[in-house]
Amino acid sequence: MAALARSVLRYSARHEAAASESFAEHVVHGLSDSPKWLSAKYFYDVAGSDLFEQITELPEYYPTRTELSILNRYAGEMAGYIPLSAALVEFGTGSTKKARILIEAAPQLATYVPVDISAEFLAREAAAVRRDIPWIAVLPAAADFTRDFDLPAQIRSRPRVGFFPGSTIGNFEPDDAAEFLRQAGRILGAGATMIVGVDLIKDEAVLNAAYDDAAGVTARFNLNVLARMNRELGGDFDLASFRHRAFYNAANHRIEMHLESLKAQSATVAGHSFEFGKSETIHTENSYKYTVESFRALAGAAGWRPMAVWTDESDYFSVHALKL
């Protein structure tokens, strides 16, 4: 199951009040608003997590494979920013695939702390890393990485290196992304290093295709939130009368995903009825894109000093080393 199923993504400051709502409360809140919206965190039930895994393999969805290629190529240089006997703290560990590349390249690392909301998932992943990389101590921390949490006491005296791959930071509103980086700094402590994957602004056709693939997997991923409301909240959404829409909003530097109603209709969910006009949409996700400079400025405003950046040959994706 993909990581993000368990990783709670806040969606924007506007939506912050919704962070502690139940799914049902959230749906009633978001669908009563104008324009209608839902938090992207609700994509990631078991079916949605499986669809996200499929997205990462799509020919159009370049971020995962591009970031992996950057890590594979430059992990040795990244290791140069990792102090002796440090602890690597991964925020919202999905698959340990990316962390393993860093760990293999940085034998000076003493401890790996994957942080995820599901203790069960973490225990399984930790066991696999211990089996494959026996020289590193693995200390999983079951926590919501978007909130304050305590690092394991055993790493208190170690230098800390945060790791936040996948451009998940792009699913935060920029103010929340800065707040996340500030909070990560507080958790990791003075002198910490942070390695962050960030998707870059590029040709709009490439961006649009990545979020509206020919095989329709991203469409199924988006529509799954309607299916999830039907399954879990007694909803009666007719999936055939909504369509997936994804487009790059150049003014706001973000991909927006929406579910568009193909006709005037009403749907009932969580005991409430909602009206949809023809072409009305539910805004389901933002995925912000940065330039190297705009991300460095954001990190700087959050108290981090940009140290190094690695990109692929097409400048599609970037991996940043930051220091507190």
Instruction: Report the interface residues with ligand AVI, using CB under 6 A.
Output: 4, 55, 63, 166-168, 170-171, 211, 218, 285, 287
DSSP state of 152: P
Specify the residue, 176 or 324, whose C-beta has the smaller distance to ligand AVI: 176
Give the alpha-carbon dihedral of 168, 173, 177, 179, to 10 degrees: -140
Please answer whether residues 274 and 33 qualify as being in contact, where contact means their C-beta atoms are separated by less than 8 angstroms: no
User: Which two three-digit tokens encode residue 19?
Assistant: 């962070």
What is the nearest approach in angstroms of ligand AVI to the Cβ of residue 209? Answer: 11
DSSP state of 238: -
Specify the residue, 56 or 241, whose C-beta has the smaller distance to ligand AVI: 56
Interatomic CA distance for residues 133 and 61, integer angstroms: 30
Which amino acid would we find at residue 195?
Answer: I
What is the nearest approach in angstroms of ligand AVI to the Cβ of residue 229? Answer: 18
Specify the residue, 175 or 275, whose C-beta has the smaller distance to ligand AVI: 175
What is the nearest approach in angstroms of ligand AVI to the Cβ of residue 167? Answer: 5
What is the nearest approach in angstroms of ligand AVI to the Cβ of residue 144? Answer: 16
What is the nearest approach in angstroms of ligand AVI to the Cβ of residue 12? Answer: 14
- Beta strands of 173-216 (E only): which ranges? 193-199
Task: Enumerate the H helices of 169-216 as residue ranges.
Answer: 174-188, 204-210
Interatomic CA distance for residues 157 and 109, integer angstroms: 13
Specify the residue, 111 or 287, whose C-beta has the smaller distance to ligand AVI: 287
What is the nearest approach in angstroms of ligand AVI to the Cβ of residue 308? Answer: 22
User: Which two three-digit tokens encode residue 1?
Assistant: 């199951």
Name the residue whose CB lies closest to ligand AVI.
Answer: 287
What is the nearest approach in angstroms of ligand AVI to the Cβ of residue 170? Answer: 5
Specify the residue, 4 or 259, whose C-beta has the smaller distance to ligand AVI: 4
Q: SS3 for 96?
A: coil
Specify the residue, 5 or 321, whose C-beta has the smaller distance to ligand AVI: 5
Specify the residue, 151 or 223, whose C-beta has the smaller distance to ligand AVI: 223
Q: Look at the alpha carbons of 286, 287, 292, 296 in this order and tell me if their dihedral is positive or negative.
A: positive
Interatomic CA distance for residues 132 and 138, integer angstroms: 11
